[in-house]
């Protein structure tokens, strides 16, 4: 059946529910190039304002899934598991979570994305590792999953190609924060990967796309409902993003932070709690542990005995990275030529953080994209970020900025100082895990 793309856009603009045939036609046009970039942007904006009902979201998800190959894992003797985060600042959980779950007996074929808006992207972080292939062919992808137990890659041209095009256009047209589009984008990639279980980390707070907890709940509910409707067991955690999850924000600096986590050199408290909680849920969904709590104990053991770090190294080297990366990350990761501490304008305790502003500061440094085609500077970023409740003052700076030059540092330092609110007395951080949906 043939339709006119502009009529589909008009229908949604006027508030009508699109039929499955209309949605399938438009998605196929995305893949074939029949639908223009302007038309994609127009439909995205119409959906942003008009929304979609559950049947439309399911149809959009399934059409995007069918736009390319759908993987099967007939040789697998373990559950095929994955996790997705809706994005935040200092959220490098995937880099630890995939090898932890692999070390506990799961297989994790993780299809990840690049930076979106003010948030960092897992693929951009992994591109910091020399030689690491974030876009391997499917045969290599399967090989790495079989040998390492996990592989974190980007969408190939064969997996959900319609979503890949839609994703890039959403990033530069202010249509990211749409529950239907987020749901279909996330789940189409996950369904194409042939999963048997999926855990979703939905962020809420000043650094999240869904800043309001009610909006985050609506997204988490949509994701779990649509996933289960498509036959994929799923659970979701709603987690706090009113401050950066890790003490590092950027690309290479977050990879270094992840290696430090896996090798027990340093672990940020909030990052540790979320990573372990998601691990427990994944292992429960995969039937590898009877409860999430038992799964968390398994995750701790995989970290303590070094098995998770070994899986990460195996993944990196099999995908073309250095054979000694975990042992010597500093030797291989790019470093910015200019690094300086950002002092606090006042003495006291961190009361609140405009976390989105921290992410924007990283983008301004060159660690993110203003336009879809922009190149990333993997070396720049921010480390040693003060957390809510931390004391700041002359001897306790807000952060360490890694920049290309002094001018870039000055701009980032100004943004970071404005992002922090300081109180005279100590304050407590927000609850980290806000809600669980199973």
Residue 64 lies in a domain: no
Q: Among 345, 341, 376, which residue's Cα sits nearest to residue 362? A: 376
Active site residue 204: no
In CATH, what number is assigned to the domain containing residue 342?
A: 3.90.1170.30
- Catalytic position from the list 24, 65, 112, 122: 122
- The confidence score (pLDDT) of residue 180 equals 94
Of 295, 330, 365, at which residue does a domain stop? 330
Residue 68 lies in a domain: no
- The confidence score (pLDDT) of residue 230 equals 83
- Residue 26's domain comprises 5-51
Active site residue 119: no
- Catalytic position from the list 12, 114, 118, 189: 189
- Asked if residue 237 and residue 131 are part of one domain, the reply reads yes
Range list of β-strands (E), 197-345: 197-204, 234-240, 249-250, 338-342
In CATH, what number is assigned to the domain containing residue 130?
A: 3.40.1030.10
- The confidence score (pLDDT) of residue 116 equals 61
- The confidence score (pLDDT) of residue 229 equals 83
Contacts of residue 176, Cβ cutoff 8 Å, sequence gap at least 6: 116, 117, 170, 182, 209
- Catalytic position from the list 82, 91, 268, 377: 82
- Asked if residue 248 and residue 206 are part of one domain, the reply reads yes
Residue 437 lies in a domain: no
- Catalytic position from the list 125, 164, 170, 369: 170
- Asked if residue 310 and residue 338 are part of one domain, the reply reads no
- Catalytic position from the list 24, 31, 67, 83: 83
- Asked if residue 153 and residue 247 are part of one domain, the reply reads yes
Look-up: residue for tokens 């976390």? Answer: 355
- Asked if residue 130 and residue 21 are part of one domain, the reply reads no
Residue 56 lies in a domain: no
CA distance 308 to 299: 9
Active site residue 324: no
Domain count, the chain: 3
Of 330, 347, 363, at which residue does a domain stop? 330
CA distance 250 to 364: 11
Active site residue 266: no
Helix axes 54-66, 161-171, angle to 10 degrees: 120
Q: How many CB atoms lie within 10 A of CB 78?
A: 18
Q: What is the pLDDT along the chain (438 residues), one digit of tens a residue?
A: 679 999 999 999 999 999 999 999 999 998 888 999 999 999 999 999 999 999 999 999 999 999 988 999 988 899 999 999 988 899 999 999 999 999 999 999 998 877 666 666 899 999 999 999 999 998 999 999 999 999 999 877 788 889 888 877 887 888 887 899 989 998 998 999 999 999 999 999 998 888 899 999 999 999 999 998 888 999 999 999 999 999 999 999 999 999 999 999 999 999 999 999 999 999 999 999 999 999 999 999 999 999 999 999 999 999 999 999 999 999 999 999 999 999 998 999 999 999 999 999 999 998 876 666 678 899 999 999 999 999 999 999 999 999 999 999 999 999 999 999 999 999 988 899 999 998
The DSSP annotation for 320-349 comes to: T--TTTTT-HHHHS---SEEEEE--SS-EE
Active site residue 215: no
- Asked if residue 400 and residue 291 are part of one domain, the reply reads no
Look-up: residue for tokens 């030059």? Answer: 405
Of 299, 330, 361, at which residue does a domain stop? 330
- Asked if residue 302 and residue 407 are part of one domain, the reply reads no
- The confidence score (pLDDT) of residue 431 equals 92
Residue 69 lies in a domain: no
- The confidence score (pLDDT) of residue 155 equals 76
- Asked if residue 10 and residue 104 are part of one domain, the reply reads no
Residue 65 lies in a domain: no
Active site residue 190: yes
In CATH, what number is assigned to the domain containing residue 44?
A: 1.20.970.10
Active site residue 82: yes
> 49: buried, middle or exposed (CB in 10 Å: 19+, 13-18, 0-12)?
exposed
- Asked if residue 143 and residue 44 are part of one domain, the reply reads no
Residue 63 lies in a domain: no
Active site residue 2: no
Residue 176 lies in a domain: yes
Active site residue 125: no
- The confidence score (pLDDT) of residue 156 equals 73
- Catalytic position from the list 31, 61, 67, 85: 85
- Asked if residue 214 and residue 142 are part of one domain, the reply reads yes
- Catalytic position from the list 190, 284, 314, 369: 190
Contact 354, 206 (CB under 8 A): yes
- Asked if residue 283 and residue 178 are part of one domain, the reply reads yes
- Asked if residue 138 and residue 234 are part of one domain, the reply reads yes
CA distance 126 to 378: 9
- Catalytic position from the list 84, 284, 314, 369: 84
């Amino acid at each position: 059946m043939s339709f006119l793309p502009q009529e589909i856009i008009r229908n949604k603009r006027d508030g009508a529910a699109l039929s499955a045939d209309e949605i399938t036609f438009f998605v196929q046009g995305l893949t074939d190039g029949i639908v223009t970039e302007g038309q994609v942007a127009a439909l995205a904006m119409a959906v942003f304002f008009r929304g979609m009902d559950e049947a439309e979201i399911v149809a959009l998800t399934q059409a995007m899934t069918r736009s390319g190959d759908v993987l099967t894992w007939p040789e697998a003797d373990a559950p095929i598991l994955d996790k997705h985060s809706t994005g935040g600042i200092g959220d490098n959980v995937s880099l630890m979570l995939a090898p932890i779950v692999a070390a506990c007996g799961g297989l994790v074929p993780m299809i990840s994305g690049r930076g979106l808006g003010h948030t960092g992207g897992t693929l951009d972080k992994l591109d910091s590792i020399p030689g690491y292939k974030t876009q391997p062919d499917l045969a290599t992808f399967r090989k790495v999953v079989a040998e390492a137990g996990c592989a974190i890659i980007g969408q190939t041209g064969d997996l959900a190609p319609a979503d890949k095009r839609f994703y890039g256009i959403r990033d530069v047209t202010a249509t990211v924060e749409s529950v239907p589009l987020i749901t279909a984008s996330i789940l189409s990639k996950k369904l194409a990967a042939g999963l048997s279980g999926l855990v979703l980390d939905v962020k809420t707070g000043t650094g999240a796309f869904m800043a309001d907890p009610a909006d985050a709940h609506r997204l988490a509910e949509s994701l779990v409902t649509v996933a289960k409707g498509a036959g994929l067991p799923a659970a979701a955690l709603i987690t706090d993003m009113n401050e950066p999850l890790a003490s590092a924000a950027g690309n290479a600096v977050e990879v270094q932070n992840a290696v430090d986590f896996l090798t027990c050199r340093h672990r940020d408290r909030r990052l540790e709690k979320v990573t372990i909680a998601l691990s427990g849920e994944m292992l429960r969904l995969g039937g590898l542990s009877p409860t999430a709590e038992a799964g968390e104990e398994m995750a701790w053991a995989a970290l303590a005995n070094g098995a998770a770090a070994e899986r990460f190294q195996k993944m990196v080297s099999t995908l073309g990275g250095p054979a000694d990366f975990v042992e010597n990350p500093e030797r291989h990761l790019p470093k910015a030529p200019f690094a300086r501490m950002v002092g606090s304008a006042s003495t006291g305790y961190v009361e609140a953080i405009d976390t989105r502003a921290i992410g924007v500061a990283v983008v301004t440094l060159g660690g993110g994209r203003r336009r879809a085609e922009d190149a990333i500077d993997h070396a720049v970023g921010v480390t040693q970020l003060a957390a809510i409740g931390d004391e700041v003052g002359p001897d306790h700076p807000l952060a360490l900025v890694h920049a290309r030059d002094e001018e870039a540092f000055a701009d980032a330092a100004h943004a970071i100082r404005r992002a922090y609110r300081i109180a005279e007395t100590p304050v407590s951080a927000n609850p980290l895990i806000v809600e669980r949906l199973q």
